[in-house]
Amino acid sequence: MRVEALRDLPKSSGLDAVDRVPLATGRKGRWPKTDPGGGIEDAALLILEWLGEQGINAMLRVDAERLAEGRPFWTFAASGGPLEIGMRADGASAALCLSSAVARLRELGVVVPH
């Protein structure tokens, strides 16, 4: 089964779709239905679960104060596991934030499945 969730990313990101990201719930092989018109944000929970399975602590957060100030208000942060140092990515939307985070994780040697 192929989950079409990352198809709207720029080709330079190297992400086209999520093929297989095992669920941490033990129900491997069961995939949630996503909106075919959605973007990377539809795969956010799958990405977070996969990172957790790799021993990486990760979170996606929205900051209302930064929104009110007109600054990028979505933040992705990850640390631990194979990451030698923690990393952070910010964006004005969930899609931009996650796209940036996945690209940064790849730069750090964590190849998120696609």
List the chain domain ranges. 11-107
DSSP notation for 43-98:
GHHHHHHHHHHTT-EEEEEE-HHHHHTTS--EEEEEESTT-SS-EEEEESSHHHHH
Please give the residue that has the higher pLDDT: either 110 or 39. Answer: 110
Residue 32 has a pLDDT of: 52
> Using one digit for the tens of pLDDT, what is the confidence trace for 69-109?
999 999 999 999 999 999 999 999 999 999 999 999 999 99
DSSP 8-state secondary structure symbol assigned to residue 14: -
Residue 29 has a pLDDT of: 52
**Cβ–Cβ contacts within 10 Å for residue 58, how many?**
21
Amino acid type, 102: V
Residue 41 has a pLDDT of: 73
Question: Which residues contact residue 77 at a Cβ distance below 8 angstroms, ignoring those fewer than 6 apart?
Answer: 58, 59, 61, 86, 87, 88, 89
> Using one digit for the tens of pLDDT, what is the confidence trace for 19-72?
334 444 454 554 455 556 667 777 899 999 999 999 999 999 999 999 999 999
Amino acid type, 52: G
pLDDT class for 113, splitting at 50, 70, 90? Answer: confident
Residue 42 has a pLDDT of: 78
Residue 71 has a pLDDT of: 93
d(CA 27, CA 104): 29
Answer yes or no: are the C-beta atoms of 49 and 64 closer than 8 Å. Answer: no
Does the pTM surpass 0.85? The reply is: no
